[in-house]
Amino acid sequence: MSAKSWPETSEELEQEQLDLAAITPIPWRPAGAGLSVAGCFVCFPKGKVGVGEPGDLGWAAAVLIQNLALAAVAVTHGLAPAGYAPGFLALREGPLLEAAVRSLPLVPEVLLVDATGRDHPRRAGLALHLGARLDVPSIGVTDRPLLASGAWPPDEPGAISPLHIEDELVGYWVRTKRGVRPLAVHAGWRTDPETAVSVVLSVTSKSRTSSRSVKRAASHGKLGQESC
């Protein structure tokens, strides 16, 4: 899919999401220790009114982690092609995130994206969509679900609880630290909810590779301009 441009209209994106959701790719599983993981995030300037407009200047960062150590950081910037609308985040952030991940020196084994995956009206959120475009297994990691629901897990590191859309399991709440809000971890491209949880827990066991970490990298890449 990488040869294609990102959809430019909500109608085009909706059809592409439906097409992606209908695919059953070969499931991915971690090969073992020393996993190469990347995380990516988009940052927009502070102080703007509203949820976001076309043409907003955004900074995208991608961070590569190998053996739980920082290996590389890539920061790119550009204009958001679209405003924000729930379920259509790919129109606004997809091209920026793709550019940042492609700027990394190595292709990661798995990609963490600050977006939903199967937790989506058409079961193909930006985390899944970006993984498919890059041909990299992907996992969504967000502060809250989009459509899915489920009770929070116990306040213990490593505790999990399921996130469902009706009877479909699309992800899990995951506690990475005691006393903080759990992360919503989403199945994405070539990953199921259990694999997504195992990867997130492995990379947060010693250092929390969350959207906040990547946000700081995006902010630092702005040469001191106020952001996020």
Q: Is residue 107 part of a domain?
A: yes
Identify the pLDDT of residue 206: 60
pLDDT tops 80 at residue 60 = yes
Does 228 have pLDDT greater than 90?
A: no
Question: What would the DSSP string read from start to end of the chain?
Answer: -TTSPPP-SHHHHHHHHHHHHH--PPP----SSS-EEEEEEEE--TT-SSS--TT-EEEEEEEEEETTEEEEEEEEEEE-SS---TT-HHHHHHHHHHHHHHTSSS--SEEEESS-SSSSTTS--HHHHHHHHHT--EEEEESS-SS-B-PPPPSSTT-EEEEEETTEEEEEEE--STTSPPEEEEE-TT--HHHHHHHHHHHTTTS--SHHHHHHHHHHTTTT----
- Is the pLDDT at 139 greater than 80, yes or no? yes
CATH number, position 138:
3.30.2170.10
Question: Is position 113 within any domain?
Answer: yes
Domain assignment of residue 226, yes or no: no
In a domain, residue 41? The reply is: yes
Residue 86 has pLDDT above 70, yes or no: yes
User: Which residue range forms the structural domain that includes residue 85?
Assistant: 10-25+34-220
Task: Tell me, yes or no, whether 4 lies in a domain.
Answer: no
- At residue 224 the predicted structure's pLDDT band, cuts being 50, 70 and 90, is very low
pLDDT score of 48: 79
| Alpha-carbon gap, residue 217 to 199, rounded angstroms | 21
221: pLDDT strictly greater than 90:
no
pLDDT class for 53, splitting at 50, 70, 90?
Answer: very high
Higher-confidence residue: 217 or 19? 19
Residue 226 has pLDDT above 80, yes or no: no
Q: What is the pLDDT of residues 161-217, one digit of tens each?
A: 999 999 999 999 999 999 999 999 999 999 999 999 999 999 987 654 444 444 454
Asked if residue 97 belongs to a domain, the reply is yes
Tell me the average pLDDT of the chain.
90
Q: Give the residue-averaged pLDDT of 149-170.
A: 98
For residue 34, is pLDDT > 80? Answer: yes
Rounded to 10 deg, the angle between the 10-22 and 126-134 helix axes is 70
Q: Is residue 228 part of a domain?
A: no
Look at residues 70, 58, 45, 138 and name the one whose alpha carbon lies nearest to residue 100. 58
pLDDT at 211: 43
In a domain, 5, yes or no: no
Residue type, 180: V
Q: What is the pLDDT of residue 51?
A: 86
How many domains does the chain fold into?
Answer: 1
pLDDT exceeds cutoff 70 at 3: no
The CB density around residue 109, as the number of other CB atoms within 10 Å, is: 17
Instruction: Quote the pLDDT of residue 222.
Output: 43
Q: Of all residues in the chain, what percent carry a pLDDT higher than 90?
A: 81
The rounded distance, in Å, linking the Cα atoms of 125 and 45 is 24
pLDDT surpassing 90 at residue 49: no
| pLDDT of 225 above 80 | no
Q: Note the pLDDT of residue 67.
A: 87
